[in-house]
Structure 1
Amino acid sequence: MESEPHGCPTPVLFLIHRRPQLTARSFAAIRQARPEHLLVAADGPEDDALCQETRRLVKEGIDWPCNVQTRFSAARLGCRNAVSQALDWAFAEHERVIVLEDDCLPEPSFFCFCTELLAHYQDEKRVMQICGSNLSGHAAQDGSSYYSSRFATIWGWASWRRAWKQYDVTLQRWMEQGSNARLEAACKFQGEAAWRKELYDGAATGAIDTWDIAWEFAQQNCNGICLIPSVNLVSNLGWGLGATHTHDVHDARACMKTSPIDFPLRHPCHLATYDQADRSYFNHYCRRPALLIRLGRKIVRLLRRMMR
């Protein structure tokens, strides 16, 4: 089971900017899924040649029957404002939304996976996000098709209007907390509270230009969880010089292989978080490594570049 027989029934939000080659690859996967509702949001400026080319290839590539909605910005809004405003728009229009950015290439079964879990957990308020990426390398221990996590990945994901209502790009609730006691109580791993505080402070003050830290906070603040597939369903291709945040092409997360997920999905008996997988993810990608480890990784990257 790799695609919906009559097209994906869940609305798909496609976030684009000025990378036509990457956009073409991701859009080809969307065309294969044939969503019944397609929302396309693009940052500006609208007079930029690459922005124009990227918008054109998407508009001209819609060759299946679907309801198309566009939100093309005339000016350059930046990562934080462009994406958060696009998501506000999409969830105002639809109760459930699948979200893909221009550099995220989904495996075909990703769309069915999201659609089924969006229906299955519609009324389970603790579940706030369906993820397409599995960056921990772990599969559910009980043989289920997915597991619960406290760490949200946003390279191909889906959610509900009920969950997105908890989102505030300004992180006002974080600024109003006044102490770290609640944060420390919610964190399980050494260094996690300090890591989250640094991120939340940076996003709240505008020092970090991104939208997703506020989404991570919204889930943590609500004691929410996300669901991670037991196989990786989305590959992020946008690593290198043209990327906003993902610059290191040698990062283990760059261009990860994907695998189809088996249907029918095997649902777990409970939603307890898989702490071993979360710890692996946190230690590999979140926790700041010791100085010697950082220097070693830098030397390896430099040697790889010299050998190219």
Structure 2
Amino acid sequence: MNPIPVVLFVYNRPEHTLKVLESLKENNVEKLYVFSDGPRLETDLQKVKKVREIVSSINWCEVEYEFSEKNRGLAESVIYGVSKVFKAGYDKLVVLEDDCVPSPDFLNFMREAFDFYEDYDNVMHISGFGLPLKKYTEPDVYFAPYPCSWGWGTWRKYWEACDFYQYENYKSLLQNESMCRKFNYAGEAFSEFLEMQLKGQINSWLIRWYFHIFQNNGLAVWSYNSYINNKGFDGSGVHGNKIDRFNQKLELDKDINDEKIVFEENVAVNEDLIREFRRYFMGKKLSERIKTILYLIKRKMEVKMKWGEK
């Protein structure tokens, strides 16, 4: 049997890349593919070279890497790289970006999730990152319509069926009020992301991947316990984010389970959970923003009270 490969996308952040690689080594990776994007600006060149020196020195697993001369940008790099690895003959793979530091049991979680959901036709994506939500269901994972890009995996049969350039279909959805509501079931921001993609204001593989999952009535597996620590909220990334709106500090509220992972067999979404899930994808509506602010204040108070009692 082929190992489940890890596909890592890097650019110009040597310190971030080192942290991710150190953590991947602890995960006992068997096969690693690294895609290094070419410099977009002359000022990026030295850091890109440094990252490539780090990648070239990997000697603790089987590794293949591709150093692009041109700058594709993150979205096109992911679409290109994941597609290329699948063409090498793998049925499933795991993807990381250079700011997503995995926990030591990240790959174990991904392997077990792949095994468990192998024959579930509408489970199309596995997310290693977990939002700081309350635990609404007994298993250690839950289902949501929207996928996560922070440490994730999928199967070849779903990825290769995805057309990432369905511009007319994107337009049709945005012009259909009923379909927009369904598209935004787990977050008011999703149709806004799709519109921004059409206008060229962002270039996201994720919103296009979500569109494909939505089209095919698919779902994503999310874990209550997060296996990823995103270190990219320092302004160094493509989007320059400095505020962690996913509030990773609330991870302390998770009940870590050292026993065998319990997977959800009932492939359905929990409506109470989705109401909370929506707060992290609130969109631009004032009403949504107010609800989110109130929700986050309430959650912080709950966490403070819980840990203050112990």
1:247 counterpart = 2:244: no
Contact 2:106 2:228 in 1 (8 A): yes
Task: Name the SS for the 1:108 alignment partner.
Answer: coil
Distance 2:270 2:91 in 1: 28
TM superposition outliers: structure 1 runs of 4+ over 6 Å: none
The counterpart of 1:72, out of the listed 57, 67, 73, is 67
User: Structure 2: where are the runs of 5+ without partners?
Assistant: 294-310
1:104 matched to which residue of 2? Answer: 100
Contact 1:109 1:261 in 2 (8 A): no
Q: What letter corresponds to residue 166 of structure 1 in structure 2?
A: A
Deviates more, 1:162-171 or 1:106-115: 162-171
Share of identical aligned residues, percent? 23
Contact 1:11 1:36 in 2 (8 A): yes
Q: What letter corresponds to residue 151 of structure 2 in structure 1?
A: G
Q: TM-score with structure 2 length normalisation?
A: 0.81
The counterpart of 2:201, out of the listed 196, 201, 207, is 207
Distance 2:166 2:139 in 1: 34
2:270 matched to which residue of 1? Answer: 274
Task: Name the SS for the 1:71 alignment partner.
Answer: strand
Equivalent residue runs for 1:21-100 within 5 Å:
21-45=15-39, 48-60=45-57, 62-66=58-62, 68-93=63-88, 94-100=90-96
Distance 2:187 2:38 in 1: 38
CA RMSD of aligned residues (A): 2.9
Distance 2:288 2:94 in 1: 41
User: How far is 1:136 from its partner?
Assistant: 4.5
Q: What letter corresponds to residue 47 of structure 2 in structure 1?
A: L
Contact 2:226 2:251 in 1 (8 A): yes
Distance 2:211 2:132 in 1: 20
Q: 1:75 to 1:202 in 2, by over 3 A?
A: same
User: How far is 1:65 from its partner?
Assistant: 4.2
User: How far is 1:271 from its partner?
Assistant: 1.0
1:169 matched to which residue of 2? Answer: 164
| 1:163-183 Cα distance to aligned partner (Å, 9 max, x none) | 112322223462474652662
Deviates more, 1:153-162 or 1:277-286: 277-286
Q: 1:42 to 1:292 in 2, by over 3 A?
A: closer
User: Structure 1: where are the runs of 5+ without partners?
Assistant: 1-7, 298-308
Q: TM-score with structure 1 length normalisation?
A: 0.82
Give the aligned length: 284
